[in-house]
Amino acid sequence: MDLEHFEAAVKHEYFEVRVLERKGILQDGLTNLMLSEPHIDRIMELSPYSDVRKEAYHFIEEQFPPISLNSFDLPPSRFVIDDSLNYLRSITTDLNRDHFFYKEFYRHFTDEEFRRGVGLPLP
C-alpha cells in the first residue's frame, strides 16, 4: 500500500465516520420527536414496533444505504460524497414534526398504510 492508497483509505473512513455521526443525530431527532408525540401511548399501543430508537435506526438505514467507498480503483466522486453529507446535514438541521422525513418515519412507525388498507384505527 503506497501513500496514495493510504490517503484514500483515511478519506473514506473519515467520510463514513461523518455519515455515521449524521445518522446518529438523525436517529436521536426521530426518536425524540416520536416520543414527544401527544398521543404516544396510543401510538405505542397500535404500532407493530416496540422500540422507537431501534426502529428509527432501521428506517434511516433503509433510506440511506451505505455508499461503497471500499474500491480504491473507482472511488466515488467528490459530488457523491459532498451531496450525501449535505443532504443528511440538511435533514438533521431542519428536522421537526412537519418535516417530510419525520412524517415518513411516523407513517412507517404507525404502519399507517397497512392500517388504512385493512380498516384498522390510526393513532
Residue reference for cell 466515488: 76
CB atoms within 10 A of CB 29: 21
CA distance linking residue 115 with residue 110, whole number of Å: 8
More confident call, 31 vs 4: 31
Under the banding of pLDDT at 50, 70 and 90, the label for residue 1 is confident
Residue reference for cell 500500500: 1
Q: Please tell me the predicted confidence (pLDDT) of residue 74.
A: 47
More confident call, 99 vs 15: 99
CA distance linking residue 123 with residue 34, whole number of Å: 12
Indicate yes or no: pTM above 0.85.
Answer: no
How confident is the prediction for the chain on average, in pLDDT? Answer: 85
Q: Please tell me the predicted confidence (pLDDT) of residue 15.
A: 82
Question: How many DSSP H helices and E strands does the chain contain?
Answer: 6, 0
Under the banding of pLDDT at 50, 70 and 90, the label for residue 7 is confident
State the average pLDDT over residues 91-110: 93
| Of 101, 103, 109, 115, residue with least CA distance to 47 | 109
Digit-coded pLDDT (tens) for 24-38: 999 999 999 999 999
State the average pLDDT over residues 98-119: 89
Residue 81 predicted with pLDDT over 80: no
